[in-house]
A = this chain, B = another copy of it.
Amino acid sequence: MPSAVILIADGTEEMEFTITYDTLVRGGVKTISAFVPDLTLASSGGEVHRVSPPVAKGSRGINIMPDTYFDQAHCGPDSYDLLVIPGGAKGAETMSKSPSVQELVKKYLENDKWVGMICAGSLAAKTANLPRQKITSHPSVKAELQQDFEYIEEPVVVSGKLITSRGPGTAFPFALTLVELLCGSEKRAEIRGPLCFPPNTPF
């Protein structure tokens, strides 16, 4: 059974998080969410210790309880097949500026595992110093990416094992693409029907 870890932080775009998580579960992917604390909140400069379990406050105010804390040792490519970094300006900033997250992004790709980034989550490709390749993101962070990458304005961009996407409105094709890559095109087709997309939906 393929597996995935989806990062979540205060300020994560809750639609991108939820659509990806839910669709992966529908595809039969063992999925967990891992909370990345905002280290700038720590007056001591060390790890932030919050109430347990923590609650991530989404970008539009929905409070989501993560399944676990983010921990580089337990969220690595030896444990999961896919690492997902959702958007939401503040949440993506917390994740992309985390040295542990940056290192994990590189480790997943080095180990030939999948990495998905959507919306402002694509900033982690830059902070992780990934080599120049095809990428997309939310238009609001295009300027920060177009120098270092081959920026493409398509709903979902597959570049080797790195999958990037644009925003809440592309979260379904992003998630369905991840299901297809992890579980095959038949599984994608199987779970698409009950989602009830309107006729002529282009994904």
Binding site for B on A (CB under 8 A): 13-15, 18-19, 21-23, 25-26, 31, 33, 55, 58-65, 67, 119, 138-140, 155, 166-170, 172-173, 194-203
How many copies of this kind of chain does the complex include?
Answer: 2
Residues A64 and B65 in contact in the complex (CB < 8 Å), given A169-B198, A170-B198: yes
Q: How far is the CA of A139 from the CA of B33 in the complex (A)?
A: 30
Q: In terms of DSSP, what is the predominant structure of the interface of chain A?
A: mixed
19 contacts between A and B (CB under 8 A): A14-B18, A14-B22, A18-B19, A19-B168, A21-B60, A21-B62, A22-B58, A26-B60, A31-B61, A138-B196, A140-B194, A155-B198, A167-B195, A168-B196, A169-B197, A169-B201, A170-B197, A200-B202, A201-B201
Residues of B within 8 A of A58 (CB): 22
In the complex, are the beta carbons of A22 and B60 less than 8 A apart?
yes
Residue of B23, B59, B61, B139 near A196 (CB, 8 A) is: B139
Q: How far is the CA of A173 from the CA of B196 in the complex (A)?
A: 12
